[in-house]
Amino acid sequence: MAGERYRLEVTERELLGSPETRRMRKQGFVPGVLYGKSSSRSIAIKERDLRAALTGASGLHAVLDVVLEGTSTAHPSILKEYQRDPIRGHVRHVDLQEVRLDQPIHAAVQVHIVGTEDAPGVREGGVMSQPTTEINVEALPMEVPESIEVDVSGMEMGDTLRLESVATIEGVTFLDDPQETVIATVTAPMREIEPELTEEEAAEAAEAAEAAEGEEAAEGEASEAGDEAAGEPGAVEG
């Protein structure tokens, strides 16, 4: 959903360095940088406030009205980059970019396919694949969608859905190549094909089979001979 704005109060950092950053995180703050038109500021944001802003209806594409502590001026900004703790999942650092609401920006938007189970090709046993999970778009900051849903319920076996077939969104321009960008495909399931043997390999396999049959026959004859010998009456001593 586009058009969501969140007020985000931040503190400008004066002390920098690893010790200060660790202390800040222990107190529940996330270090970051606010990039303006001609300068940048090192900032600290309450982790709970940042999480609330980025998990709303607009997700990572929310427009953040950044307000520096002790001031009343809001700086419309977007999330430029972020670092996440690989174990705990907490955001460890953010870069915010100040923007103008009347000028378009570029953003990478997630693509979600829907209707996979209803696709005729899948119901026939085909495999649905999604080579492209995000596309680049251009839009005003308030018009960037959180994600783009693509309906694949009509795809037949062997079909390929490209970006050119995706419905356009008002105010949003797709920047990727419409013909080269493949969103989804339905292909027949892979079947294991046994490699063909060369004449030499085939001859060796036939010889091995004949040898195995010969050994089995010899073992069978030996077993029968043993059974016959065991069944003969022994000599009676007078």
Tokens for 99?
Answer: 């923007």
Q: Is residue 202 part of a domain?
A: no
Q: Taken in order 141, 97, 9, 91, is the CA torsion positive or negative?
A: positive
Supply the DSSP symbol for 130.
-
Taking the C-alpha atoms of residue 44 and residue 7, their distance in angstroms, rounded to an integer, is 15
Which CATH number fits the domain that encloses residue 176? Answer: 2.170.120.20
Same domain for 48 and 94, yes or no, is yes
The answer to whether 75 and 67 are in contact (CB under 8 A) is yes
Mean pLDDT of 89-95: 87
Q: What is the pLDDT of residue 2?
A: 60
Q: Is residue 33 part of a domain?
A: yes
Model confidence over 61-77: pLDDT tens digits? 899 999 998 898 999 99
Tokens 């390929």 belong to 160
The answer to whether 130 and 119 are in contact (CB under 8 A) is no
22-31, 167-176, 194-203, 215-224: the lowest-pLDDT one: 215-224
Count of structural domains within the chain: 2
Tokens for 149?
Answer: 């849903």
Mean pLDDT of 32-50: 91
Taking the C-alpha atoms of residue 137 and residue 148, their distance in angstroms, rounded to an integer, is 11
Tokens 């036939």 belong to 206
Same domain for 75 and 113, yes or no, is no
Taking the C-alpha atoms of residue 71 and residue 67, their distance in angstroms, rounded to an integer, is 7
The residue among 98, 121, 143 that closes a domain is 98
Residue 38 or residue 231, greater confidence: 38
- Expressed as residue numbers, the domain containing 23 is 5-98
Cα distances from 98 to residues 40, 42, 65, in angstroms, run 10, 13, 9
Tokens 């010899």 belong to 218
Q: What is the pLDDT of residue 236?
A: 45
Q: What is the mean pLDDT of the chain?
A: 85
Supply the DSSP symbol for 37.
S
